[in-house]
Amino acid sequence: MPGTGVQRCATKEDDVLSLMSHAAPAADMAAVRVTAAPQTDSQAQLAAILESLDDDKAEDIVQIDLHGRSVMGDYMVICSGRSSRQVSAIAEKLVDRLKQEHGVRSRTEGKETGDWVLIDTGDVIVHVFRPEVREFYQLEKMWLPSGQASPARV
């Protein structure tokens, strides 16, 4: 600032703000965002998840497409483990594989008890249940299209 001996340094915010004044209108930016996130990322995540669950002997794996039905993710996967220990192990290995092999960070809930573990990757939500708990909550029925008797098993 003149006369004070203090100079203002340009910041990254200044650069961003100056770029924003030349940016496309908001409607054009929305179109850019939609095309920038390809569907193949969530499909690749889904394939990796299904492979991991199969490798770890998860049972009754169900895949539900959430496109156009929910904004919380693109797919939901529901499966069972035979015991609390297996449910926790399936979830732990899945989270580790996604992080190590695909760079996907996941949030988990319920791993400590092993009755029902929720894994949220952002694009795919995975529920790993003990069979009794899965039967009690019946998540598949909640996400089925009306009139469909049972979801497609993988």
pLDDT 10s digits, 111-120:
888 899 999 9
- Which pLDDT does position 63 carry in this prediction? 93
Residue 8 lies in a domain: no
Give the model's pLDDT for residue 72.
82
Mean pLDDT calculated for residue range 95-123: 92
Confidence grade of residue 13 (pLDDT, cut at 50, 70, 90): very low
Q: How sure is the predictor about 5, in pLDDT bands with cuts at 50, 70 and 90?
A: very low
Band (100; pLDDT cuts 50, 70, 90): very high
User: Which of 70 and 7 is assigned the larger pLDDT?
Assistant: 70
CATH number of the domain where residue 99 is located = 3.30.460.10
- Domain of 107 in residue numbering reads as 40-143
Higher-scoring residue by pLDDT: 17, 54: 54
Structure-token pair, residue 42:
């969530």
pLDDT at 52 over 50: yes
> Residue 11 domain-assigned?
no
- Position 109 in a domain: yes
Task: Give the count of domains, the chain.
Answer: 1
Q: Does the residue 34 lie in any domain?
A: no
pTM of the model: 0.69
Residue with the bigger pLDDT between 107 and 32: it is 107
- Rounded CA separation 142/87 (Å): 22
Using CB atoms within 10 Å of the CB of residue 78, give its burial: 0 to 12 exposed, 13 to 18 middle, 19+ buried: buried
Residue 35 belongs to a domain = no
In this structure, is residue 23 part of a structural domain? Answer: no
- Domain contains 137: yes
Asked whether residue 113 is domain-assigned, the answer is yes
